[in-house]
Structure 1
Amino acid sequence: MTIQCISPIDGSVYVTREVLLRTQADEAVARARLAQKKWAARPLSERIALVQAGVAAVGAMNDEIVPELAWQMGRPIRYGGEFGGFSERATYMAQIAQEALAPIEIEDSDAFRRVIKRVPHGLILVVAPWNYPFMTAINTVAPALIAGNAVMLKHASQTPLVGERMVAAFYAAGVPADVFQNVFLDHQTTSDLIASRAFEFVNFTGSVGGGRAMEAAASGTFTGLGLELGGKDPGYVMDDANLDAAVDTLIDGAMFNSGQCCCGIERIYVHESLFDAFVEKAVAIVNGYKLGNPLDPETTLGPMANVRFADAVRSQTAEAIAAGARAHIDPTDFPEDGGAYLMPQILTNVTHEMRVMREESFGPVVGIMPVKDDAEAIRLMNDSDFGLTASLWTQDTVRAEAIADKIDTGTVFMNRADYLDPGLCWTGCKDTGRGGGLSIIGYHNLTRPKSYHLKKV
């Protein structure tokens, strides 16, 4: 069986790879388990240095990686790939590793030594998505390896070259081959491996349906799971907001990467006193975009990663317009062929009865609604099955934090959006999933506590 990456640029088959048979997958797991013990026995400082060297080696490939990403998932080359965020996250996790993994000394007296150590789980499976395939993978790969785990990396079929690039770079930097492996697995083999307790921990970033499949496979195994699933992230522009900054950031958060961002802005609530001005400025920004081939340096909006993703957004948008939503972007300004190239759209006169305001869109469309006050905004922001991030726009930090306390979400931003701070825990609630990556908490989730109670005789 093979997997294929169909390029959104022209619909051609860009990459084909054979998936592992179950026996081959079992052999890869066995090699990883043997290698993990030796890896964990190395000094922490050595593991940190090797991971940092691997990250740098990925950076050295960036000129080749950027066009590869355009061919695989459609991001315009003008944005230069992902190495900035990739390096920022890995570097931060390397910097805090000694503190995050330090033993907790309870007592070291003539009578007792009592200490809690953090020890690696063992073998970790990282299932990474296609939308930010390097950055989402490194969130777990770097701290997992630093903590002494072995890692098997399975990327989405849309971005099969990413795992190969990462593993080649880390191997060239000195990380043993069996400690960090890239694998191509079909869904059934993945589920069967999880069900057979091949892994001590699984980190999955993807759809809600995919998360349910992971939970089903792990049922009864007590395998740890970290799940980042869907999102419908809101922005709220208050009456005292810096309007220009709010429009610039929120519309970029809604449209960048053709709307295919885990924490992208999918719905915006604006105080009624600023609503008309916000919409006018938002429309002007979007009308300045250039939809086209991502290999063209002038392109600001590339195709969606797959035709079916674009069709799903078209369906949501058309359904909303038929139900009374107003479309502000003229289709004649963004000619498309009905394939992966999808025009951006701003909708007003939307309601929460419309799918475009309730279901994840993951595309370049955003609905904007006026609100009377904070209470209405809070109610609407919480009226969602998802809870990843929310973006608040105000000059008043106290007001923002008070509102943040009432929002059901994993992260709350004030006067920014669509960013992942490696010093803070990346987490979600409701159908967005469970667990937490990055920060000290990320290390805690990738290790287990082990207590030592040593009586000195």
Structure 2
Amino acid sequence: MTMIKCISPVNGEVYAERPAMPLELAKQAVGHARLAQKSWAKRPVEERVKLVLAGVARLNEMVDEVVPELAWQMGRPVRYGGEFKGFNERSNYVASIAADALKPIIVEESDRFERRIEREPHGVVFVIAPWNYPYMTAINTVAPALMAGNTVIIKHASQTILVGERMVRAFIEAGVPADVFQNLFLDHDTTAALIAAKSFDFINFTGSVEGGRSIERAAAGTFTGLGLELGGKDPGYVMEDADLDAAVDTLMDGATYNSGQCCCGIERIYVHESLYDAFVEKSVAWVSNYKLGNPLDPETTLGPMANKRFAATVRHQVADAVSKGAKALIDPKLFPQDDGGAYLAPQILVDVDHSMEFMREETFGPAVGIMKVKNDGEAIELMNDCQYGLTVSLWTRDPERASRIGRNLETGTVFMNRADYLDPALCWTGVKETGRGGSLSILGFHNLTRPKSYHLKKVTA
């Protein structure tokens, strides 16, 4: 029997393990979800929304278990209290717009015709969730999918193996029928086999580019709808009129929070030459204040990376950049807890350029490169010189300038004076190798449903 294991970054030992479900049992679970979907969809949308929010509330009641459980699984310090702020914000927002997002579009309602477009749920939605923000990324799809009348099967990354189990437990305890929301422990081969067999009507995957390619290969020829949020190398651009202290505070937090393991974390920064020296100096001071250590210690502000192999990628990229002329500014002596494994000190590199892997490929760790630029044109060219496109963070006091620059950027979201945030009222989407599709906002509901048109000609005397 194949066991799916979570190796804790805290101590390198097995924290949790579950047997992988055999293919035939997984097919049965999908069958139960399909049978349950019709009756679930017939419930009024208000009732579905109420039950989902009850599940969210029940999960909040588990906070004392969830927070240390997350620390053990993926290393986030307990002082940050889990993911409940974003989890609740997203759930509450999609609940507030569900009725409007799902209501019919009336084209004509006369004595001769009824013409309208209705939204119908896809059926069974498969959510393959990542480990870096395992609750927030999952709820982006789980909440609107259930509210729209789909049934949901969730599969979590092995690093956060307990998250899907806990989410489903909370929702079922709150009254969501068991077959409507299910957690399955699946290995890669079984997952691929289920997708290839057209077991699902829509699949949402958040993870690596190669993982996205694997999903697409498995789904080839099935015409199954896919939503893919994949890699990122999100830039920041600090202009000459920026609020320097605010830019340093937000961009350094965006680069290093959660040990840099954020989908929209800041991985490269371009600073106007007039502010460059001051920005670098303040950034080094900001990052140097971290306390790296055991995430279960409330004094720890920077925990280990989720797995030592992720930390190895960061170390490789940093070393490669330094060998090609980059300069590392953070003194490793400040972080004696860096053990060469999952515990990794943060780092800032200067004298970097785009010939370095560190400035082109996703790092997904607490390390960031800073480059000097002369003008907007140079910054735009550098920000677009990337195979990814999730978010960009622009720092200026001029909204018109930010909008003008934003229109020239290949990205899913443009922030001004903000970074590393997901606004549930806006569509979360990416371009290029970051993926396709979109979650949250009214468009998220549209992606989790399909349009059905009614053209009804009335018989008149």
Note the 1:258-407 alignment, pairs <5 A: 258-335=259-336, 336-407=338-409
Letter in 1 for 2:389: G
Note the 1:15-54 alignment, pairs <5 A: 15-54=16-55
Q: Distance in 2 between matches of 1:116 and 1:437?
A: 21
Q: Distance in 1 between matches of 2:246 and 2:110?
A: 58
Note the 1:162-173 alignment, pairs <5 A: 162-173=163-174
Q: Distance in 2 between matches of 1:280 and 1:106?
A: 59
Aligned to 1:72: 73
Q: Distance in 1 between matches of 2:292 and 2:319?
A: 20
SS at match of 2:343: coil
Under a length normalisation based on structure 1, what TM-score does the superposition of the two structures give? 0.99
Between stretches 107-116 and 215-224, larger displacement belongs to 107-116
Letter in 1 for 2:104: P
2:443 counterpart of 1:441 = yes
Letter in 1 for 2:326: A
Q: Distance in 1 between matches of 2:197 and 2:90?
A: 32
Aligned to 2:89: 88
- How big is the shift at 1:453? 1.6
Q: Distance in 2 between matches of 1:26 and 1:202?
A: 16
Q: Distance in 2 between matches of 1:252 and 1:105?
A: 46
Letter in 1 for 2:340: G
- Unaligned regions of 5+ residues in structure 1, if any? none
- How big is the shift at 1:106? 1.5
Note the 1:230-241 alignment, pairs <5 A: 230-241=231-242
Letter in 2 for 1:369: M
Letter in 2 for 1:16: E
Aligned to 2:434: 432
- How big is the shift at 1:105? 1.1
Aligned to 1:413: 415
**RMSD after superposition:** 0.6
- How big is the shift at 1:456? 2.2
- How big is the shift at 1:111? 2.2
Q: Distance in 2 between matches of 1:326 and 1:283?
A: 12
SS at match of 1:234: strand
SS at match of 1:279: helix
- How big is the shift at 1:115? 1.4
Aligned to 1:183: 184
- How big is the shift at 1:125? 0.2
Q: Deviations over 1:252-308 (max 9, x none)?
A: 000000000000000000000100000000000111100000001110100000000
Under a length normalisation based on structure 2, what TM-score does the superposition of the two structures give? 0.99
Q: Distance in 2 between matches of 1:365 and 1:113?
A: 58
Letter in 1 for 2:266: I
- How big is the shift at 1:108? 2.0
Q: Distance in 1 between matches of 2:43 and 2:288?
A: 55
- Unaligned regions of 5+ residues in structure 2, if any? none
Q: Distance in 2 between matches of 1:303 and 1:328?
A: 20
Aligned to 1:161: 162
Q: Deviations over 1:129-174 (max 9, x none)?
A: 0000000000000000000000000000000111011101100111
Q: Distance in 2 between matches of 1:384 and 1:179?
A: 40
- How big is the shift at 1:112? 2.0
Q: Distance in 2 between matches of 1:394 and 1:43?
A: 46
Matched residue count: 457
- How big is the shift at 1:329? 0.6
In percent, how many aligned pairs have the same letter? 71
- How big is the shift at 1:62? 1.0
SS at match of 2:185: coil
Aligned to 2:14: 13
Q: Distance in 1 between matches of 2:107 and 2:280?
A: 58
Q: Distance in 1 between matches of 2:73 and 2:94?
A: 28
Letter in 1 for 2:196: A
- How big is the shift at 1:454? 1.8
Q: Distance in 1 between matches of 2:166 and 2:58?
A: 10
Letter in 2 for 1:229: L
Structure 1 segments, 4+ long, off by >4 Å, are none
Note the 1:217-228 alignment, pairs <5 A: 217-228=218-229
SS at match of 2:70: helix
Letter in 2 for 1:70: A
